[in-house]
A and B are shown apart, each in its own frame.
Chain A
Amino acid sequence: DVQLVQSGAEVKKPGESLKISCTSSGYSFTNYWIGWVRQMPGKGLEWMGIIFPSDYETKYSPAFQGQVTISADKSISTAYLQWSSLKASDTAMYYCARGESTPPYFDYWGQGTLVTVSS
């Protein structure tokens, strides 16, 4: 079975750094894009960016370019979403998801990682 398992909820202070993870199993990790989607409390879905683990090609939505870093480690089938300096406005649920082609539709999703940024 295809599974994407995300790291647990995080509570951070403004200005702190954070790296959350998404570990895939049940398929060939290097053959599919992994994307990240933000959902702020009570709001809709926002496309952040994608990475192709085979060659680490990364693409960002303009709204998130420079705000986050997407990376991956194909040796452990894991993708990451990273912040260098969190803001209160980064408080949200973050989903990773898998897709073919570029840009992809997402056919399998992780369970989500809740990030809370508060002083």
Chain B
Amino acid sequence: EIVLTQSPATLSLSPGERATLSCRASQSVSTYLAWYQQKPGQAPRLLIYDASNRATGIPARFSGSGSATDFTLTISSLEPEDFAVYYCQQRNIWPPAFGGGTMVEIK
């Protein structure tokens, strides 16, 4: 089974700053990786699919990059509504899996 390791566990930043989140896979997932955002008390929301494609309605400040085993989600300038937990998910090899999450908190 593929294990997805997200780092850091917590990222403390101020509004307007750039956020860089990492997701590392235990073996190659090609570009079959997605990113989700989850706010307290809400269901997750799909942000990025296939490593770098923004989902419908997702602002351009969110971008994804990477392939094989190393992936990055970048939020170019944090808005107040972006403080949340972010999860990566691979769909290249069964069973699919989520990473453990990165919490982006207000500094």
Contact = CB atoms under 8 A, between A and B. Distances in A.
B100 A105 contact: no
B84 interface: no
Given A62-B1, A103-B94, A105-B34, A44 B46 contact: no
A106 interface: yes
Contacts of A61: 95-96
Interface residues of A, number: 21
Interface of A is mostly: loop
A112 B46 contact: no
A77 interface: no
B80 interface: no
B45 A109 contact: yes
A66 to B, nearest CB: 14
28 contacts: A37-B44, A37-B98, A44-B87, A44-B98, A45-B38, A45-B89, A45-B98, A46-B98, A47-B89, A47-B95, A47-B97, A61-B96, A62-B95, A97-B43, A97-B44, A103-B91, A103-B94, A104-B91, A105-B34, A105-B46, A105-B49, A105-B89, A107-B46, A107-B49, A107-B56, A109-B44, A109-B45, A110-B43
Interface of A: 37, 44-47, 59, 61-63, 95, 97, 101, 103-107, 109-112
Given A103-B95, A106-B46, A107-B49, 10 more contacts: A44-B100, A45-B87, A45-B101, A62-B95, A95-B44, A97-B44, A103-B91, A105-B91, A106-B44, A107-B56
